Amino acid sequence: MSKIGFNKDLPKSCSYCVHGKTLEYTNEIICKKHGVIAERDYCRSYKYDPLKRIPQKVKIADNYSADDFKL
């Protein structure tokens, strides 16, 4: 698997693990291997799943002028 586009500085968390699933009404994770655990915990079975990560929203600047859109 290609490592392009993955943030190496992203902290390990069971919320991003292939073995974990977020419980609906709490901030806890249910793990296939360890049961119910805290969201920020992780174990040695941790395996990153990029599809579980929700990127932060980017704020778009709103100080444009009409000159910015002329060719």
Q: Is this prediction's pTM over 0.85?
A: no
* Per-residue pLDDT, 46: 85
Is the alpha carbon torsion for 22, 26, 27, 30 positive or negative?
Answer: negative
Residue with tokens 């990153």: 48
User: Would you place residue 3 in the very low, low, confident or very high pLDDT band (cuts 50, 70, 90)?
Assistant: low
The confidence band for 1, taking pLDDT boundaries of 50, 70 and 90, is very low
**What pLDDT is recorded for position 4?**
47
Which pLDDT does position 42 carry in this prediction?
82
Structure confidence by residue, pLDDT tens digits, 4-60? 446 677 788 888 888 888 888 888 888 888 888 888 888 888 888 888 888 788 888
Cα separation of 41 and 1, whole Å? 25
| CA–CA dist 10, 26 (Å, integer) | 22
